[in-house]
Chains A and B, each alone.
Chain A
Amino acid sequence: KQEVTQIPAALSVPEGENLVLNCSFTDSAIYNLQWFRQDPGKGLTSLLLIQSSQREQTSGRLNASLDKSSGRSTLYIAASQPGDSATYLCAVTYPYGWGNSGNTPLVFGKGTRLSVIA
């Protein structure tokens, strides 16, 4: 069964620090990988989507990289701000399984809870 692991589970950093969140997945045959942000008690907001053929995607202070062969992705946040405090979730999509019993093509990690201290 495919699994997505996010390390660390929680992270606390001072404002202004650059930081890296990690995501690993057991089955490297992914279609794409997404990073989401979730604020407490809210839904998810998509931050970045990386196709399997891409190495990285950037949006503002966020940069996500993908190393498909090693089953890893990182989310880099530059110059962190208190407003970045949230849970960050990684999810991978597989190009198979829809309609097949037992396969879920979008698999989520449990997230990393980030606190940026002013």
Chain B
Amino acid sequence: DGGITQSPKYLFRKEGQNVTLSCEQNLNHDAMYWYRQDPGQGLRLIYYSQIVNDFQKGDIAEGYSVSREKKESFPLTVTSAQKNPTAFYLCASSTNTWETQYFGPGTRLLVL
């Protein structure tokens, strides 16, 4: 089955800890994205990548980092510098940046 997967479904972070959220797609898409969703707010773009080995900051990149070493993978690290990390994180991919984005099931990050 073609699709986009995210893991884990739930993630708990301790104070001062870095955590990494996984995003994998087998749709052969060039572009991948990370969004953050807070209650009552729309999706906000954290980082995006148009092609392997390239990525750009979105609206709220501070406290986050990404890598794009493989076409099918775009992991997101939430660093200790992100002071309010509790949110629902969504990964998406698309053929290119103008076409429909396909979303993964999301990862909910909670702070202990």
- Say which size band chain A's interface belongs to: 20 to 34
Does B59 make an interface contact (CB < 8 A)? Answer: yes
Does B97 make an interface contact (CB < 8 A)? Answer: yes
Does A72 make an interface contact (CB < 8 A)? Answer: no
CA A104 to CA B40, docked complex, whole Å: 20
Pair B56/A46 contact, Cβ less than 8 Å = no
The interface bits of chain A over 9-45 (1 if a CB of B lies within 8 angstroms of the residue's CB, else 0) are: 0000000000000000000000110101000011111
Pair A41/B108 contact, Cβ less than 8 Å = yes
Pair A43/B41 contact, Cβ less than 8 Å = no
The interface bits of chain B over 12-45 (1 if a CB of A lies within 8 angstroms of the residue's CB, else 0) are: 0000000000000000000001000000111101
Contact residues of B with A, CB < 8 Å? 6, 33, 40-43, 45, 48, 50, 56, 58-59, 88, 90, 92, 97-98, 100-106, 108
